[in-house]
Amino acid sequence: MPNDKLLEQLKVIRRTLHAHPEVSECEFETQQRILDYLSKNTTARAKKVGFTGVIAEFKGVDEGLTVMIRGDIDALPIAEVNTFEYKSTREGVSHKCGHDGHTTILLGLAQVLSERPLDKGKVLLLFQPAEENGMGAQAVLNDDEFNKEQIDYVFALHNLPGYPMHEIVVKQNEFTANVKSIILKMTGKTAHAAEPEQGFNPSMAISELFAFANETTFNKPADPNFFLMTPVYSTMGDLAYGISAGYGEVHFTIRSWSTDLMEKRSKEISAFMESTCERYQLAADISWTQVFAANVNNSAALEYVKAAANKSDFVLTERPYPFRWGEDFGLFTQKYKGAMFGLGAGTSTPALHNPDYDYPDEITKTGITLFHNIIQQIL
């Protein structure tokens, strides 16, 4: 497994990636850094995929199964408050979800696979762009070159602050939630603020929508009927005290474990929005965005993860219910047999998406080891 010299090299590239973050669908420099690193340090056959992603291939002498390991590469539009030497050099953009670490794990795995060539089968390392906005997995799945591959298993991990370092976190069936966001734009009619009855103001519709979201929410994660509708943004009118507003906009995210419940609630929410706008004589423009399918772990794939953890004596923890956040790796687990699992990032590490979060380099070796153990079992 990775020696101290390799781990030090990986720490350098991880911190370089951290210092130069790029948001979803703009990972051009990151893509080039990955290609350059693979070219210089590995035997991988690498090529661009999904516009700003990279796929690296390792092929054995004999035919066999194909295993894909995925790591995400994009950063977030969050200003970093850390002051360490490798802090973000991009104003308002930083790696606050640890994708710099996930990328580094795959780069290290590529070096291990170069040092220990496969006897048979194939390994694909997917450096996937645009996970944060839910566009990257679909972009890869739409790529003609990617679709030439016959993939048998897919795996991915996510670092998890709040869990002890190196702990492996698994879950049968759904690992993450179904998540998507809805946008409602309401167009009414402005009027003088002294005569609001002469126009159509969206304020009452907005207030009813917020109440509806609260009533619809069933925020009990341990229950299979868990459903969460969260207001994330709203705006109305202009900062002009003589004008009764004639335009309003509200955005919500919705989350559930069940795909069927998600579909049912989506229809109910759209219908309520339309009827509410109609009552207040508002034109409704409804759209959906940032759709994340639930990661559904295949039982056979999950057993490979568990066996890999046990082989290296990592602590293995099984969650009673899925994580509430979305992850677009779900598109892969819905198409291929696969599993997503968690890697403990430390109980004192700031939470994901916090402005002071930083991926801990100590867990890179754990990620590489676990993925390599999985590959060895299957191939």
Average pLDDT on 246-266 reads 97
CATH T-level fold of 178-291: Alpha-Beta Plaits (3.30.70)
CATH T-level fold of 4-175+294-378: Aminopeptidase (3.40.630)
pLDDT at 325: 96
Place of tokens 């801990």: 360
Asked if residue 1 has pLDDT above 90, the reply is no
Query: pLDDT-based confidence at 235, cuts 50/70/90?
Result: very high
Place of tokens 């720490």: 11
Q: Could you give phi then psi for residue 15, rounded to 5 degrees?
A: -75, -25
Amino acid at 234: S
Residue length of the chain = 379
Query: From CA 320, how far away is CA 169, in angstroms rounded?
Result: 11
Query: pLDDT-based confidence at 352, cuts 50/70/90?
Result: very high
pLDDT at 341: 98
DSSP bridge partners of 108: none
Domain with CATH 3.40.630.10 in the chain: 4-175+294-378
Predicted TM-score (pTM) of this structure: 0.95
Tally the C-alpha atoms within 13 A of residue 91's C-alpha that lie toward its C-beta: 0
Query: From CA 69, how far away is CA 101, in angstroms rounded?
Result: 14
Average pLDDT on 22-50 reads 98
Place of tokens 């080891």: 369
Domain with CATH 3.30.70.360 in the chain: 178-291
Asked if residue 2 has pLDDT above 90, the reply is no
- Of 153, 58, 143, 59, the closest CA to residue 106 belongs to 58
DSSP string, 123-188: EEEEEE--TTTT-HHHHHHT-TTGGG---SEEEEEEEETTS-TT-EEE-SEESB-EEEEEEEEEE-
Asked if residue 280 has pLDDT above 80, the reply is yes
Residue pLDDT, tens place only, 155-199: 999 999 999 999 999 999 999 999 999 999 999 999 999 999 999
Q: Could you give phi then psi for residue 255, rounded to 5 degrees?
A: -145, 140
Residue pLDDT, tens place only, 298-349: 999 999 999 999 999 999 999 999 999 999 999 999 999 999 999 999 999 9
Strand order in the sheet with 247-256: 227-236, 247-256, 178-187, 283-292
Provide the mean pLDDT of the chain: 97
Q: Taking the chain, what is the end-to-end CA distance rounded to the nearest angstrom?
A: 17
Place of tokens 């939470």: 351
Residue 278 in tokens: 């109609």
Question: Long-range contacts of range 36-44, CB-CB < 8 Å, 24 or more positions apart?
Answer: 37/13, 37/107, 38/107, 38/110, 41/9, 41/107, 41/110, 41/111, 41/114, 42/110, 42/111, 42/113, 42/114, 43/113, 43/114, 43/117, 44/110, 44/113, 44/114, 44/125
Residue pLDDT, tens place only, 65-120: 999 999 999 999 999 999 999 999 999 999 999 999 999 999 999 999 999 999 99
pLDDT at 85: 98
Average pLDDT on 132-160 reads 97
Instruction: For CA atoms 135, 136, 141, 146, give the dihedral sign.
Output: positive
pLDDT at 282: 98
How many Å separate Cα 74 from the centre of its chain? Answer: 9
